[in-house]
Structure 1
């Protein structure tokens, strides 16, 4: 059975490892409907019941896929989705929206695509550009009052915005990129610990780089990593040393690099003082099974000493400047 953890107070109890579903619809190659359904099926069999999607993923495709996958077994799942990245005018004209009426409409649209009556954890995908955070969270609180949403979350916020949001309505979780090579959210975790907010790390495997299985030369035209600063050119070559260190630790422990990278994230929970539920993405049931085994892996002092400094060695930003300007995907 998969370990469970509670995000927030009053809290949402979820599987300590969830499943990020974005890659089933976009960003890492062509959409994979059948592979996505098979992976979600296997996740639920294993007890990985915390599923993460968003209305922006595949411009609605991903919510439809997840909704189909959980049809007839809604009570087995802790369902998280997000709103706020408006791609209706095309990717180069994306906006981050949070006005009250937009939030209410976005939720109704997500409920329809998902085929459910209530969302367990509803996130603002990024801090809104059009209104103050108080209006956005106020609208989200209305959704809780209406019984359409159970718990609220934010993604990629700083400590000040988190405090302001939490003053309007309790925030159960913050979703941010967090891994051996991306530790920015540690600037926010003291506030999270103070407020009792859980951490949901996305891309805990460094978008696949830390697994040691990625051949950068084979990335396709539809894979955004192809031009990502950490994957391309000299920075990509330099970062191979990081992946090699993870592999060396894994070989010594008799584990896979992915398991080591995930175990490192879980090992930070006590130090940070926050509950942690990762959402590694995959379209492979076999890799899902390998990932789940990370919950049983304990890293010794030697492993932590090798892994902890890796974030200081990373070359390249998380996104290209153009991608950041267009709103970085979660």
Structure 2
């Protein structure tokens, strides 16, 4: 599988990443999925300390034991929680982040994290303090690089201008093209994008649309009727060479500075389908232009730069 560097770093991530949130809590199932992902060429694993209140990190740590050198491991921090207690609160302070990384390392049973990401952020945060925490962790060897998981243009700009982030995780798909307005700026800054939600909650798959819960009341600015019409057009024009999954992934990866699309999987069959989709034919320039023409080029209305 193709690999792309995250920003100017030496982290070389597979163009498809495996999201940990869908792995579940059965260690044997999770291990079998991760083993298959590695076998198929995926090296980028994404988790967060918040997923299952830390249990997801524990499971991934057990699953990659003895295979650490095969993995680019990304996790996230910024949401403070107490194990066994429901709920969490936002805490981007240096004290919390420097404590959270040690907890994540312990749960993952590893010595360092490849990519440590701030799991959110607001313009009112103590951003300099947060950046200082990540920079110190990098100097101390607890992390190799750091990034941001956010869709807020004003927050993204602050970190792009003031920090050494190498990547930003953003929701991005054919149905959510809002990040595209930021791409020229991020490319100039040499900051990579890692996408989530590229299948738009299952709408951009070959499943019958009536079976996709997220499509029943529309998706973002699309009505349910518009979704049905658009899917028909995409399948009629590209269904002979690409699955909808493949179309969705390739559309994202065709845009600089996207380095990797992160997709979840709850079974071996699902990870195989994801990898098969990403090996579909790439899209020609005219095809990309046509998809852009028939879809909405919305922009973020809040948290402006």
TM bucket, shorter chain: 0.7 to 0.9
CA deviation after TM superposition for structure 1 residue 133, in Å: 1.7
Q: Cα distance 1:118–1:227, how it changes in 2: closer, same or farther (>3 A)? A: farther
Question: Matches of 1:212 and 1:164 in 2, distance apart?
Answer: 39
Residue 300 (structure 1) aligns with: 284
Q: Cα distance 1:313–1:132, how it changes in 2: closer, same or farther (>3 A)? A: closer
Alignment of 1:59-208 (within 5 A): 59-88=53-82, 90-91=86-87, 94-128=88-122, 131-208=125-202
Q: Structure 1 stretches of 5 or more lacking a match?
A: 26-30, 220-224, 319-330
Paired residues in the alignment total 297
TM-score, scaled to structure 1 = 0.80
Question: Matches of 2:122 and 2:217 in 1, distance apart?
Answer: 25
TM-score, scaled to structure 2 = 0.86
- Please say which of residues 66-75 and 156-165 is displaced more in the overlay: 156-165
Whether the 8 Å contact between 1:4 and 1:16 is mirrored in structure 2 is yes
Question: Matches of 1:238 and 1:163 in 2, distance apart?
Answer: 33
Question: Matches of 1:110 and 1:244 in 2, distance apart?
Answer: 44
- Higher helix proportion: 1
CA deviation after TM superposition for structure 1 residue 60, in Å: 1.2
Alignment of 1:204-243 (within 5 A): 204-213=198-207, 217=211, 225=214, 230=219, 235-243=223-231
Q: Cα distance 1:251–1:275, how it changes in 2: closer, same or farther (>3 A)? A: closer
Whether the 8 Å contact between 1:19 and 1:282 is mirrored in structure 2 is yes
Q: Cα distance 1:226–1:237, how it changes in 2: closer, same or farther (>3 A)? A: closer
Q: Deviations over 1:65-124 (max 9, x none)?
A: 211111111011000001113354634xx4322001011111111111111110000000
Q: Cα distance 1:81–1:200, how it changes in 2: closer, same or farther (>3 A)? A: same
Residue 257 (structure 1) aligns with: 244
CA deviation after TM superposition for structure 1 residue 125, in Å: 0.8
- Say which of 259, 267, 288 aligns to 1:276: 259
Residue 303 (structure 2) aligns with: none
Q: Structure 2 stretches of 5 or more lacking a match?
A: 301-305
Residue 324 (structure 1) aligns with: none
Residue 328 (structure 1) aligns with: none
Q: Cα distance 1:215–1:71, how it changes in 2: closer, same or farther (>3 A)? A: farther
Whether the 8 Å contact between 1:6 and 1:275 is mirrored in structure 2 is no
- Say which of 284, 291, 294 aligns to 2:274: 291
Residue 24 (structure 1) aligns with: 23
Question: Matches of 2:65 and 2:148 in 1, distance apart?
Answer: 26
Backbone CA RMSD of aligned residues: 2.9
Q: Cα distance 1:311–1:103, how it changes in 2: closer, same or farther (>3 A)? A: farther
Whether the 8 Å contact between 2:13 and 2:72 is mirrored in structure 1 is yes
- SS class of match (1:44): helix
CA deviation after TM superposition for structure 1 residue 187, in Å: 2.5
Question: Matches of 2:74 and 2:114 in 1, distance apart?
Answer: 6
Q: Deviations over 1:222-257 (max 9, x none)?
A: xxx5997629xx94454233333333344222x321
Residue 233 (structure 2) aligns with: 245
Q: Cα distance 1:128–1:100, how it changes in 2: closer, same or farther (>3 A)? A: farther
